[in-house]
Amino acid sequence: MTDKEFRKLKRGDLIAIIYEYQKKQDELVKELGELRAQLDSKNLKISKAGSIAEAVVGLDLLFETAQKTADDYIEQVRLANEDAEKKAAEIISQAKKEAEEILSKAKKKAESRKNRPK
């Protein structure tokens, strides 16, 4: 969505978009905290590993988990962005329809006043 399109949105629409982004961000921050706790747990297990081989296996699992977590996070951000863009497009579409209706009504009213006998 361009800056020009954002500037045309009503304040309530912008607040709704911001609210959705904030809600999604809160969810992602919570998930990030949970994942960090899991990561800390994994790090503790690795530090307690008795041999280099166990540490290597643990690290491999840790990196796989970290990669999966990063991939999941990126996917969620992408989906949240798509949802926000769809909502914004819907809001813009609705605003355009409302503007067309208002303009049509105004033209009809002007036409009726123009044709009214004096």
> Can you tell me the distance from the alpha carbon of 26 to that of 81, in angstroms, rounded to the nearest whole number?
15
| Cβ 87 vs Cβ 20: under 8 Å | yes
Per-residue pLDDT reduced to its tens digit, 27-67: 999 999 999 998 888 777 766 656 667 777 778 888 999 99
Q: Which residue has the higher pLDDT, 64 or 3?
A: 64
Please, are residues 38 and 65 in contact by the beta-carbon 8 Å criterion?
Answer: yes
Please tell me the number of Cα atoms within 13 Å of 100 on its side-chain side: 6
Distance CA 104, CA 98 (A): 10
User: Any idea what DSSP says for residue 19?
Assistant: H
> How confident is the model at residue 111, as a pLDDT?
85
Q: Report the distance separating Cα 46 and Cα 15, nearest Å.
A: 46
Whether the pLDDT of residue 78 is over 80: the answer is: yes
Write down the domain spans for the chain.
Answer: 3-113
pTM assigned to the model: 0.39
Residue 48: what pLDDT?
67
